[in-house]
Amino acid sequence: MPLTMLPIGKEAVVNECRAKEDTKKFLAGLGIVPGVFISVVSEMKGNLIVSVKGSRLALNKGVAQQLMVNP
């Protein structure tokens, strides 16, 4: 399921990223790669604040929809 569907406070594993290659590289630089645990901290108008490896990151709705996770 897309990351945007993950309830706030729930943790999931990133399965894949369906974004363009440059976006994948950007996310990999932030530590968002397949196999990593991610959780949604808050949501506002579809944009997400997520927690990855102890860091909080902001993702816009378009990027978050391209991240597939498994709760």
Nearest Cα neighbor of 51 from 23, 31, 28 is 31
b/e sequence 31-41, b meaning 16+ C-beta within 10 Å: ebeeeeebbbe
Which pLDDT belongs to residue 32? 96
Cα(2)–Cα(54) distance, rounded to whole angstroms?
21
Q: 5 is written with which tokens?
A: 């569907």
pLDDT in tens, 16-60: 999 999 999 999 999 999 999 999 999 999 899 999 999 999 999
CA 63 to chain centre: 8
Domains annotated on the chain, with CATH: 3-70 (2.30.30.90)
